[in-house]
Amino acid sequence: MSVEGLLIIGILLSSFLPGVIIFFLREENHLGRSFLNLLGAGIKLILVAVLLWEVYRFPDQVDAIRWSILPGIDLALGADATSILFVTLSSVLWLLTTIYAIGYLEGAPHRSRFFGFFSLCVTATVGIALSANLLTFLVFYELLTVSTYPLVVHRGTAEAMAGGKMYLTYTLIGGAVLLLGVAWLYSLAGSVEFAERGVLDSLVASHSWELKVIFWMLIAAFGVKTALVPLHGWLPRAMVAPAPVSALLHAVAVVKAGAFGIVRIVYDVYGIQTAADLELLHPLAIIASITIVYGSIRALFQDELKKRLAYSTVSQVSYIVLGTAMLGPLATTGGLVHLVHQGILKITLFFGAGNYAETLNIHRVSAMNGIGRRLPLTTIAFSISALGMIGLPPMAGYVSKSYLQAGAIQAGEGWVLWVLGASSLLNAAYFLPILFRAWFLKPPVEWPEERSFGRWETHWMLLVPPLATSVLVLYAGLFAESPFSPLAWVKLIAARESGE
């Protein structure tokens, strides 16, 4: 087996094996569980770094591992530049989220079950990133659905069960549509392997309408997890999950898996040019735009902090879809880079929200007066990301938005500029009041349920991850033009996808 193959196996096993072992650990074995988690996350990070280097050096690697489950139907894993983007994001953020979750769940019941499924969930996410064909993608995509459900309902309350039921209803129906679409595509084209600039050229002439229908089936299926309006209903309800789960759901795993699916379909199955020829891109851009504006408007009216962040996710993830739905390397760059940027921005915000809840039992925006004085470091991290979401320089969000604007002009879709402008204004309208309250209003005399953690404002394991991610936010913005930034990598992908 090639070096790449071994690396990929290692990356999958580094979270799968700890996950399986953790299921069997006794509840009190806190140390063993934390050790396994961090060991797995650390090994994964190292392996991903090596894989990144490999893919950078040899751009034309074919897929590394194949396993035939039926004659002519294979499961295949491999790494291209797009996989690396997603797999790096997931493994970096997984390490931080694991640290956060260990601190967050201290003393909570059923931690072995939690961390077991948590690891499976990450395994599924990196599997999605490393899938080399559509069937493998489907396998990991469904594994993700199944392994996140126990995390969403972890608390076992009536509200959690209802949220979980809704999540599963949406995602399973989405999964069924996906299966039908994929099976149909396979019955037309044989095995669908991901390749730059698409693989369906030869079918366009003879099966044009089938390809169109299949495209919308696949978009609808992925649109559920991406939370495209009107398929977004589950996302705000899934907020009942513990904070690290929400962080992971919103930044890395679930919504990103959907967005990544759309990216794969447009670029590596249909090919952006073929998709444009079939007149599929324009409607997709319109759907994404509607989602962007609708999510922002709904976010304005949420008092519960996590709900506001959830609607903000609905809006922000569609930037990726919007970038994907416009022809031209600049739009591609803007969309793909937002896959990373939205991830680090949103995870910081959720870490912040988790800290407020865990330290002071504050869940509502209206109760956040002066919270910056009690939790200064957390609130600094939160503010950096909120400003980044609005799109202010020099934060990461600015980079994505400017590329999307340039991409819209390049693609000749001038109306998109209005959407982006409106969205920025709305972002400001729902984030700035939070920051204003947090920093400039007087804190209450006494916080409702304050917990003391000694020297630091909160448990150190809850503090380090948001600080680290906010540094990443600044780095990705300030050093965007350096050779070691998400943007630099995305430019590489954009160049390969447009065939230059």
Partner 1 sequence: MNSASQAAISALILGPLILAVLAFVYPRQWRWLCLTTFPLLSSAVLMLAWQVFSSGPFRISMGGWTKPLGIELRVDGLAVFLLIITTGIGLGVMLYAMRYFERDSKPGNVDQIQRQAYFWPLCFFLLASLNALFLSADIFNLYVTLELTGFSAVALIALAGKGPALTAALRYLFVSLSGSLCYLLGVALTYGMYATVDTSLLSSEVEPNFVMWTALILMTGGLVAKAALFPIHFWLPSAHANAPSPVSALLSALVVKGSFYILLRLWFEAFDALVTPAAAYLLGWLGVAAIFWGSYKALIQPRLKLLVAYSTVAQLGYLFLVFPLALTESSGFVAWSGCLLFLGAHACAKTAMFLTAGNILHAAGHDRIRDLDGITHVLPVSVFSFALSGISLVGLPPSSGFVAKWLLLNASLTQGKWAWAAVIILGSLLAAAYIMRVLTHAFTRVAEPELTNPIPPVMEWTGFTLALLAIALGFFSQWSVELLRFGAPFTGAAFSVSVSP
Per the CB < 8 A criterion, the answer to whether 246 and 350 are in contact is yes
Q: Which stretch binds partner 1 (CB under 8 A): 55-63, 89-97, 141-149, 440-448?
A: 141-149
Per the CB < 8 A criterion, the answer to whether 249 and 145 are in contact is no
Using the rule CB under 8 A, is 20 a contact of partner 1? no
When binding is defined by CB under 8 A, the residue of 184, 216, 475, 479 that contacts partner 1 is 184
Our CB check for partner 1 shows the closer of 20 and 46 to be: 20
| Structure token pair of residue 235 | 């996302």
Using the rule CB under 8 A, is 172 a contact of partner 1? yes
Cα separation, 150 vs 43, whole angstroms? 25
**What phi and psi, each to the nearest 5 degrees, are found at residue 251?**
-100, -40
Using the rule CB under 8 A, is 452 a contact of partner 1? no
Find the shortest distance in angstroms from Cβ 200 to partner 1.
Answer: 9
145: buried, middle or exposed (CB in 10 Å: 19+, 13-18, 0-12)? buried
For residue 129, the Cα-to-chain-centroid distance in whole angstroms is: 11
Using the rule CB under 8 A, is 153 a contact of partner 1? yes
Taking CA atoms, 193 is separated from 41, 73, 205, 261, 417, in Å, by 29, 11, 20, 14, 35
Our CB check for partner 1 shows the closer of 152 and 404 to be: 152
- Match 């280097």 to its residue by tokens: 53
Using the rule CB under 8 A, is 26 a contact of partner 1? no
Find the shortest distance in angstroms from Cβ 205 to partner 1.
Answer: 9
Our CB check for partner 1 shows the closer of 214 and 255 to be: 214
Q: Residue 366, Cβ neighbours under 10 Å: how many?
A: 11
Find the shortest distance in angstroms from Cβ 127 to partner 1.
Answer: 11
Cα separation, 5 vs 220, whole angstroms? 32
Cα separation, 349 vs 421, whole angstroms? 22
Q: What are the helix and strand counts (H, E) for the chain?
A: 21, 2
Name 57's Cβ contacts closer than 8 Å, sequence gap at least 6: none
Using the rule CB under 8 A, is 203 a contact of partner 1? yes
Using the rule CB under 8 A, is 367 a contact of partner 1? no
Using the rule CB under 8 A, is 325 a contact of partner 1? no
Find the shortest distance in angstroms from Cβ 163 to partner 1.
Answer: 11
Our CB check for partner 1 shows the closer of 125 and 458 to be: 125
Q: Which stretch binds partner 1 (CB under 8 A): 182-190, 251-259, 392-400, 463-471?
A: 182-190
- Match 């309350």 to its residue by tokens: 157
- How many residues sit in the footprint of partner 1 (CB under 8 A)? 45
When binding is defined by CB under 8 A, the residue of 166, 188, 290, 432 that contacts partner 1 is 188
Find the shortest distance in angstroms from Cβ 188 to partner 1.
Answer: 7
From 492, 430, 371, 406, select the one nearest 52 (Cα to Cα). 492
Name 484's Cβ contacts closer than 8 Å, sequence gap at least 6: none
Our CB check for partner 1 shows the closer of 144 and 480 to be: 144
Tell me the Ramachandran region of residue 312: left when phi exceeds 0, alpha when psi lies from -120 to 50, beta otherwise. alpha
Q: What does the per-residue mask of binding to partner 1 show for 111-130, with x meaning CB under 8 A?
A: --x-----------------
When binding is defined by CB under 8 A, the residue of 30, 66, 197, 207 that contacts partner 1 is 207
Find the shortest distance in angstroms from Cβ 37 to partner 1.
Answer: 20
Positive or negative, the CA dihedral 255, 256, 257, 263 is positive
Q: What does the per-residue mask of binding to partner 1 show for 52-81, with x meaning CB under 8 A?
A: ---------------xxxxxxx-x------
Cα separation, 135 vs 183, whole angstroms? 9
Using the rule CB under 8 A, is 142 a contact of partner 1? yes
Using the rule CB under 8 A, is 357 a contact of partner 1? no
In 291-348, beta strands by DSSP E: none
The binding site for partner 1 (CB under 8 A) comprises 67-73, 75, 110, 113, 135, 138-139, 142-143, 145-146, 150, 153, 155-158, 161, 164-165, 168, 172-173, 175-176, 179-180, 183-184, 186-191, 202-203, 206-207
